[in-house]
Amino acid sequence: MTVLATRSESVGPLLLLLLCTVVVGGLVAAHVTLLAIRMNRASQPREQQMARLAAQLDGRGSVKIRMIEFGIGRPDLLMVARSRGYALIEHQFGKYYEFVYAPHRAGTVAPWSL
């Protein structure tokens, strides 16, 4: 009788281990999928990336975009942002660009002075 009790007690940790493995595997698969999508977007032609950025800058107060999603240079980003009335702030630590809507200051050189 004690053998059956011991076996049933040892099934719990195995099920917990299996559940943790499935959850971690799902998280890794989701991360790899998102990374592949972002890398694919960054490898698109320059004009297509600029059109996609212009579509996202639609008048909202603030737009945040991960750096990995765009493979175009800073001058191109600034050109699109200023043409839409946005100032560009580059966050190196968080690896993202922030576009702040400021139509009255579209030609400023220092967007952090808003």
Predicted local distance difference test score (pLDDT) of residue 107: 53
Predicted local distance difference test score (pLDDT) of residue 69: 81
Predicted local distance difference test score (pLDDT) of residue 3: 54
Ordered per-residue pLDDT tens for the chain, 114 residues: 455 555 556 777 888 889 999 999 999 999 988 888 877 777 788 888 889 899 999 888 899 998 888 888 889 999 999 888 898 999 988 889 999 998 766 555 554 544
Predicted local distance difference test score (pLDDT) of residue 26: 92
Predicted local distance difference test score (pLDDT) of residue 109: 52
| Exposure string for 85-105, b = 16+ CB within 10 A, e = fewer | bbbbbeeeeeeebbbbbbeeb
Q: Which of 83, 80, 86 is nearest to 51 (CA)?
A: 80
